[in-house]
Chain A
């Protein structure tokens, strides 16, 4: 017993102060790619290299539509490597959670040279904005600490990558309980379902039942590229794709897997949704 206490005191505080303080990232950490649409001379090499189809090109009548879907992106960096013009660059951004699936998708339209490279940028949407910056979330949480949030995690077919990082949220370094957020053993005790995907044919019913067993008001958070879109698995004979193919989703957290801070960012974003629903749909 003495040894255990001694060890614990000698360690001191292990917990990081995210989101108040930005996390310490390795210089090599890969966040999402960033696209300089105006400087992009050809989207095809990146689209060919993308393992999940997050970058797609569609040429029609001498016009190219380019779609970039952060909901499919696994942050692998292949697009940046394939685009020799430097218009695609890996960043360290990971706070990408969004309440609207469409906010994760960028579009650009180009006229084309005869060789298929881009002639002129016609239109483009700007990059995804983090919906609530870290510090404002922290303030919102402090206002909310009067209540706590209970999460039931559901693996609807994941590879277990996202689960690893969700488990890490509970270690002393990320310590999600400091926000009054905790993981519970039953959907009947939960305010939030944190769901990883892709939703398999064999898990669809279990997911629907879990959702039905969760009392209102409830929010659903889809985690990771597979939870958002099916990721590299997409839709096939055994996979329905993203979580919203089976149940309604309130917040989407990109990543493969999302690092614990990215998960926390998305969960805190969803907490805002819970608060809204609590006021319009009081329990009891």
Chain B
């Protein structure tokens, strides 16, 4: 890593102020704010790096400035690079990258909404996180109290691009949907059956999560992390704990690392099986969904045996896991997985046996690899469109460096291949769990609890079942947090759904949407 920081200093002697490497696997580079764009371009073009996330922090009270952070992932390098650019109070503005880098479109607008920092030059600088009827507030500024009571909302909620022309119509859908899913608004412009374009409105479930993190003692905040996105409770919980552990240099016992990996994979298996059924259901293949629902229950039952909760809540903890496993619990893993494997194989055969189902899934909702890369799409949706990323392999954490697995990648980018990635990954996850059980070390399941030192920053990433989950924390006094940034993979992937609409018909929207199965709550926080 020394060579990297030396290289960067030599290349940008004036721009790079300090390079800090106190947390292993993370390099934080302090810049002048005006230099962020030139160095970002250097990372994107010359280093083939990917901009993972951009977020801000209010340090006005402590240091007299705001900061913007740009997190990069460099191909073939397990370290994260974090550029840190101060933004002065007197000139609360930063240069927007969205025009050349569409993947930061929403994230830069979030910074505008939360912090009141202007993304100068943004091609579409409208509000994204706070709806249009919100008063002029910036909730993540430190001088905005969590329990601020805002006046009742009124006025226009959101103005959509008009749909004009003979025979062209608008179909507004949501936020309350027909199925049992989360709320969001989809505005389709259609000409007959084909969709011309789709406009999305999210953030209906915004519930002040990042602000709330700054107001809870860290041990309690673990439970908040579990409620960021309920289908990824363990992944978000683990990502959060890992960030704290890195910041406080807490060594997680080997046994706990393996236990976490097993539970992360169980979360993946349960969700992938559920999605396989739901995708079939959305093209009218109900019987496949019935079998999937039944097989998923087997996994949820195992979750309950291992954690006391069907959805893996209340298990992950700072320093490890809350409860150790007895022999009979460990034996239940293989016993259940043997049945799940057999049943899932039958389910896959059923899914593939139906020509009419295949017809509906193939060439539906295509996300082309070049678009996926441009939009920074991650996870299952990315891997179905040629984006070969997996945090478990690229930035190994927990026990993953000891657990071999294959990362399935396809180029076709249609619904069929987003389903195929899931089918392949269930198989891989079964093998990961078996390998982890076979190697499960003896010893403690949790590091001794200790107060968390203030003023430490750390980033953590976990490959949730949906994709790359990133948490970044700055610890504060009294076992509390100054800041917790949460990035769910959904925030990258929602704009990609819009791109898949072209040439598709309204009737295929549900299955296209389901094949991404993005988290509204994880997006909205």
A residues in contact (CB < 8 Å) with B: 3-4, 7-8, 11, 14, 25-30, 49, 51-52, 74-77, 153-168, 170-173, 183, 185-187, 198, 200-206, 210, 226, 231-233, 235-239, 256-257, 259
Contact = CB atoms under 8 A, between A and B. Distances in A.
Interface string B172-216: 000110111111000000000000000000011111110110001
A159 B521 contact: yes
A200 B314 contact: no
A69 to B, nearest CB: 16
B293 A203 contact: no
A237 B146 contact: yes
B71 interface: no
Given A26-B308, A203-B204, A171 B147 contact: no
B294 A171 contact: yes
B293 A172 contact: yes
B263 interface: no
Contact of A200 (B181, B205, B223): B205
A155 B207 contact: no
Nearest to A236: B208
A76 B223 CA distance: 9
B223 A52 contact: yes
Contacts of B126: none
29 contacts: A7-B346, A7-B350, A26-B301, A26-B308, A28-B306, A29-B308, A51-B224, A74-B313, A77-B322, A155-B176, A155-B182, A155-B183, A157-B204, A159-B233, A160-B520, A160-B521, A161-B313, A164-B311, A168-B293, A168-B300, A198-B207, A201-B153, A202-B205, A203-B183, A236-B148, A236-B208, A237-B144, A237-B149, A257-B230
A183 B180 contact: yes
Contacts of A233: 207-209, 212, 227
B175 A166 contact: no
Nearest to A31: B308
A183 B313 CA distance: 27
A96 to B, nearest CB: 16
Contact of B229 (A153, A159, A168, A171): A159
A256 B309 CA distance: 9
B207 A236 contact: yes
A158 B346 contact: no
Given A161-B231, A171-B297, A4 B353 contact: yes
B504 interface: no
Nearest to B519: A160
Contacts of A167: 180, 274
Contacts of A173: 293-294, 297
Interface in B467-525: 519-521, 524
Contact of B230 (A28, A162, A236): A162
Contact of A171 (B176, B182, B230, B290): B290
Contact of B309 (A8, A30, A238): A30
A203 B157 CA distance: 11
A256 B219 CA distance: 18
B38 interface: no
Interface centre among A168, A186, A226 (most CB of B within 10 A): A168
B131 interface: yes
A239 B314 contact: no
Residue of A52, A155, A187 with most chain B CB atoms under a 10 A cut-off: A155
Contacts of B183: 155-157, 203, 206
B139 A77 contact: no
Given A163-B182, A237-B148, A206 B204 contact: yes
B456 interface: no
Interface string B287-326: 1001101101100110011111111011000000011000
B329 interface: yes
Nearest to B347: A7
Contacts of B353: 3-4
Contact of A158 (B205, B296, B306): B205
B228 interface: yes
B150 interface: yes
B101 interface: no
Interface string B243-254: 000000000000
Given A74-B314, A161-B231, A163-B230, A4 B181 contact: no
A182 B243 CA distance: 43
B220 interface: yes
A237 B350 CA distance: 48
B272 to A, nearest CB: 14
Contacts, number: 194
Given A76-B223, A158-B521, A161-B227, 10 more contacts: A3-B350, A4-B287, A26-B305, A161-B313, A164-B230, A202-B204, A202-B524, A206-B204, A236-B146, A237-B147
A186 B203 CA distance: 22
A28 B146 contact: no
Given A157-B205, A186-B178, A237-B150, A4 B297 contact: no
Given A4-B353, A171-B293, A201-B153, A237 B208 contact: yes
Contacts of A161: 227, 230-231, 233, 311, 313
B171 interface: no
B407 interface: no
A30 B308 contact: yes
Interface in B224-243: 224, 227-231, 233
A231 B227 contact: yes
B350 A232 contact: no
A232 B237 CA distance: 14
A173 B223 CA distance: 29
A14 B309 CA distance: 21
A77 B204 contact: no
Contacts of B211: 236-237
The 7 closest A-B pairs by CB, nearest first: A161-B230, A171-B293, A185-B178, A159-B230, A51-B223, A160-B230, A238-B208
A171 B291 CA distance: 8
Interface in B142-158: 144-150, 153, 157
A155 B181 contact: yes
Contacts of B227: 159, 161, 226, 231-233, 256
A257 B349 CA distance: 33
Contacts of B149: 237
A259 B294 contact: no
Contacts of B229: 159-160
A202 B206 contact: yes
Interface in B343-386: 346, 349-350, 353
Which of B139, B183, B216, B306 lies at the interface centre, i.e. has the most chain A CB atoms within 10 A of its CB? Answer: B183
